[in-house]
Structure 1
């Protein structure tokens, strides 16, 4: 379990850095497309930019770092498993998003 406590934040940041790199172009492309999107999605895409997204990622990483330290230091691995499950749900959200938009971030 100790190895997972070290590897998970690294995997998390790899995923988030990929999103930071590709999100602006993806948002512009989807926003300007003719696809029917819910209004909330259109508004979110319209207002998104790399700086805002990077700040959100930094906040998430700091929270993950604190949670990792807490779980490792106090041996609360059940909480850490919950965090990993939450991340898995996040990834499932990306799969659903890809199926809905019929497009993947490139």
Structure 2
């Protein structure tokens, strides 16, 4: 049991490192990238969603940083719970939910046909999260339906959390 717990803890640390590096790339480059690509109408031309434009129209470095901070704190709390409880299925759900987030960056890059902040570290962290997922599934003998249900729940919570964060930071100066 101790060996499994130590392994899980190492996997969690690897994931936190990959997540952190990816988020730093986004924090450093996304607000300026949005300003530039809103001004040159690239986003208006390629993305027709009014909801998307409403969400990004108020974004700045501070607001984006607050959203990332909230996600990071929430993730750390959940990963502490996973470490203590050895809840491998929840960790797999988080890894796969994160991997879907990474796939979105790749799709955005393909649609816009230009660099999207977070793309470079998406490739690296996507590989890391996929490898960790495979290792944990293999070692834990998890059932596919449980993985699908957990991942669906985790991804839904990620989306709801992001929407709430965007609403909450909307009036931050």
TM-score (norm 2): 0.58
Q: What CA distance in whole angstroms lies between the structure 2 residues aligned with 1:45 and 1:101?
A: 16
The aligned residue for residue 12 of structure 2 is 5
**Which stretches in structure 2 are left out of the alignment for 5+ residues?**
1-7, 118-173
Once the two structures are TM-superposed, the CA of residue 97 in structure 1 deviates from its matched residue by 0.8
In the alignment, the residues of structure 2 paired with residue 57 and residue 34 of structure 1 have an alpha-carbon distance, to the nearest angstrom, of 26
- The reply to whether residue 64 of structure 1 matches residue 75 of structure 2 is yes
Quote the offset at 1:46 in angstroms.
2.2
Q: CA deviation at 1:33?
A: 2.1
After TM superposition, list the pairs within 5 Å mapping 1:32-71 onto structure 2.
32-35=39-42, 36=45, 37-38=47-48, 39-71=50-82
Q: Which has the greater radius of gyration?
A: 2
Query: How big is the alpha-carbon RMSD for the aligned residues of Structure 1 and Structure 2?
Result: 1.4
Structure 1, unmatched stretches of 5+, are none
Task: Give the distance between the partners of 1:34 and 1:61, measured in 2 at CA.
Answer: 31
Please give the TM-score of this superposition, normalised by the length of structure 1. 0.91
